[in-house]
Chains A and B, each alone.
Chain A
């Protein structure tokens, strides 16, 4: 008997489940695409030269919105569904490591997010979005985007561990995504936020990473502040990883009944 690759097995299964479920595709891919198509219609008063970069900033924000939806809503929804149908009882009776299984689910969510992000960027570019950063800026921005995926998966695992039921877990994820989007300086300009929400936007690893991406590829005027100061970058990296670790620990202990 050869050793099988549990990671690859779980990744494959999770990806099939995500891509075969129409509602998952709709809520994860179609909603941000819809926002990307509709929101630029409000740029009527903006100077023509600015609109492509506004579209660029919006495209990046919609990438983050998509990544958040996948990690914070799809991931806990699928875990809660598997809990409801007794899959964890079955798996706990098999020689399967909860850590490896959770990693498989996380990687599948990242791949699903990556595919959606690529689609979002292509549509954004076709729609006239312009990005201005250098190659190194693009690489660093990709790193920040990865941090949004890391933190989103962590939040998703925490939701899955604490909220029972597929519908409740999915909706909790959607609510957290919308709250983060509207209150964290992604939907409204950072400069228009009250001080408390400005602090929230800087501390929250996802909104901070999103701001860093937009800052790198569109400039400070499109985000309202400079998020690339050492303390904030450090906080973003540490909090993203911390949320993921907490999520994995909670998931391994609470979803895998013992």
Chain B
């Protein structure tokens, strides 16, 4: 597989802070790569350098063999970037927005109109193309914005936290659309801090402290993590004593505090759960809910970095 995106020894420093500390990546043509990391881990900085909106301190990014710093014009003709923010104009219709971006991209008026109509159809927005974006739902607006990154000639898509603000149903539909786009040969590079979003990718990378600390196919990452099962415990209150009781049941001693209680990793949950309930009763903190599930990418991320993804 030939490379679509190559990142070599990338560093970025803001003042005294090293946001990127030697990132190396090689993403093949047609791959769907999801980069996961906490807020502030350097994901957005990496995508902003790769799309030419920010300059690296050191290192290189090549898209289809063209260096983003030395040949920005060539790169900008083959990439489509969807920033985290909703950048479409609410005062314009969906059609007008797409024509605007198509013309900025270099298409003439008739090409831009044709491309806009095709993309609106493809994104399921044809019926709403004459409505102002002001009247679009969050999911419709995000699909419209992804359409701006699918103009003719674009081969590599960069998406920054594309599902932020979408409800679960809109998110599911949106991720399905991304899969379809990827199946049509487009290379996708997506950054996210939501594990479920990364599940649709063909390869996932974990970013922590400005470096890629682990990468691989989602299922392989889960297998290699050695995690068997996850237990989620909802407790009426939290505290050192409660954490110590629950932590004793964790296979590797690690315990993650969640909004409702705690999360731990366990090899034999059926055997551990009744004992855990009794132990919690013993310290006067009866579990309000306890359940087991298969490990997710967020769990694998925690295992690799000892940091919660949505911390």
Contact = CB atoms under 8 A, between A and B. Distances in A.
B81 interface: yes
Kindly name the residue among A84, A94, A95, A257 whose own CB sees the greatest number of chain B CB atoms within 10 A: A94
B91 A16 contact: yes
Given A93-B76, A94-B76, A86 B106 contact: no
Contacts of B153: 1
B91 A2 contact: no
B55 A87 contact: no
B81 A93 contact: yes
A17 B89 CA distance: 8
Contacts of B100: 9, 12-13
Interface string B29-73: 000000000000000000010011111000000000000000001
A85 B103 contact: no
A93 B107 contact: no
A91 B101 CA distance: 9
A4 B112 contact: yes
A93 B106 contact: no
B85 A86 contact: yes
Kindly name the residue among A2, A82, A93 whose own CB sees the greatest number of chain B CB atoms within 10 A: A93
Kindly name the residue among A5, A86, A90 whose own CB sees the greatest number of chain B CB atoms within 10 A: A90
Interface residues of A, number: 29
Contacts of B87: 82, 85-87, 89-90
Nearest to B148: A90
A16 B48 CA distance: 29
A258 B106 contact: no
A5 B105 CA distance: 10
A9 B108 CA distance: 10
A91 B53 CA distance: 9
Given A13-B92, A86-B84, A86-B85, A91 B104 contact: yes
B86 A86 contact: yes
B169 to A, nearest CB: 24
- Range class of the B interface residue count: 35 or more
A89 B83 contact: yes
Interface string A77-116: 0000010111101111111100000000000000000000
A6 B104 contact: yes
Given A257-B53, A258-B53, A4 B83 contact: no
Contacts of A96: 104
B86 A93 contact: no
A2 B107 CA distance: 6
A21 interface: yes
Contact of A1 (B81, B107, B132): B107
A17 B91 contact: yes
B54 A258 contact: yes
Contacts of A10: 104
Contact of B92 (A2, A16, A85, A95): A16
B221 interface: no
Nearest to A96: B104
B91 A4 contact: no
A86 B145 CA distance: 12
Given A2-B108, A3-B106, A13-B100, A95 B73 contact: yes
A1 B106 CA distance: 7
A161 B81 CA distance: 24
Kindly name the residue among A6, A12, A89, A95 whose own CB sees the greatest number of chain B CB atoms within 10 A: A89
Contact of A89 (B53, B96, B103, B104): B53
Contacts of B132: 20
B231 to A, nearest CB: 40
A9 B103 CA distance: 7
Interface in B97-146: 100-109, 111-112, 132
B77 interface: yes
A17 B88 CA distance: 12
Interface in A1-44: 1-6, 9-10, 12-13, 16-17, 20-21
B79 interface: yes
Given A21-B91, A86-B83, A89-B85, A258 B55 contact: yes
Contacts of B96: 13, 16
Interface in B186-227: none
B106 A90 contact: no
A89 B86 contact: no
23 contacts: A1-B111, A4-B102, A4-B103, A4-B105, A4-B109, A4-B112, A6-B104, A13-B100, A16-B91, A16-B92, A20-B91, A21-B91, A84-B85, A86-B86, A86-B87, A89-B85, A89-B87, A92-B51, A92-B52, A93-B76, A95-B106, A257-B48, A257-B53
Interface of B: 48, 51-55, 73, 76-77, 79-87, 89, 91-92, 96, 100-109, 111-112, 132, 148, 152-153, 158
The 6 closest A-B pairs by CB, nearest first: A86-B85, A2-B108, A93-B81, A93-B51, A92-B53, A9-B103
Given A13-B92, A86-B86, 18 more contacts: A1-B107, A3-B108, A4-B105, A4-B109, A9-B100, A16-B91, A17-B92, A82-B87, A85-B87, A86-B85, A86-B87, A89-B48, A89-B83, A89-B85, A89-B87, A93-B52, A93-B158, A95-B76
